[in-house]
Chains A and B, each alone.
Chain A
Amino acid sequence: QKEVEQNSGPLSVPEGAIASLNCTYSDRGSQSFFWYRQYSGKSPELIMFIYSNGDKEDGRFTAQLNKASQYVSLLIRDSQPSDSATYLCAAITGGGNKLTFGTGTQLKVEL
């Protein structure tokens, strides 16, 4: 079992819809979780981080964390074509500051 798992997609949503990206993790000791966005040919850039159970909102983005279910999600409201990218979920694992990434979910927002 991979430490951080994501569906590779592609996930296609129409413009203006809500995109829901999901991630599960295996290390129960993980406390910090991150969502990165990566455009083709570019480096990953941080969108959001979440440490506590529940929801965290930042503009059109909402991160959700459920530690009991070992589940993290990212919701993108009012999806735009510019949101089309690969979204990487990551978790601090192993008790240190090592960040383990999922393989990413490709999101396509269609006009």
Chain B
Amino acid sequence: DAGVIQSPRHEVTEMGQEVTLRCKPISGHNSLFWYRQTMMRGLELLIYFNNNVPIDDSGMPEDRFSAKMPNASFSTLKIQPSEPRDSAVYFCASSSRAGAQIRDTQYFGPGTRLTVL
């Protein structure tokens, strides 16, 4: 059974460039979460979707960040323009609120390590 898939695994870019991170949730999961993890701030929720609809984006740091979920099997997190302080590991996670799966348990992807020079 495939887990959460994220791409790319590593991204190095220069300040000012656009960065797009991608996520494919576990099939059948209807909630998707984007997190950012740094040594200083730990794991922070940026935004989450239920049934492809953004529910809470209060964690998105500023307008440079945007996220979309055009269908149940794909989401993107975009940073434009990128800044050095955006350097972090970005995780995508998915969960299910119904069925036989453990309710609300989030399963994490491997993460994307972003470095902005």
Interface residues of A (CB under 8 A from B): 32, 34, 42-46, 49, 88, 92, 94, 96-104
Using Cβ atoms and an 8 Å threshold, which residues of chain A touch B109?
A: 43
- Count residues on chain B whose CB falls below 8 Å from chain A CBs: 22
- The answer to whether A43 touches B104, judged by C-beta atoms less than 8 angstroms apart, is no
- List 29 A-B pairs, Cβ < 8 Å: A32-B104, A43-B108, A43-B109, A43-B110, A43-B111, A44-B43, A46-B106, A46-B107, A49-B102, A49-B105, A88-B43, A94-B56, A96-B50, A96-B55, A96-B56, A97-B31, A97-B50, A97-B95, A97-B97, A97-B104, A98-B48, A98-B55, A99-B33, A99-B104, A99-B106, A100-B45, A101-B42, A101-B43, A101-B45
Taking CB atoms, residues of chain B closer than 8 Å to A92 are 104
State whether B45 touches A99 (Cβ < 8 A). Answer: yes
How many contacting A-B pairs (Cβ < 8 A)?
47
Residues of B within 8 A of A104 (CB): 42-43
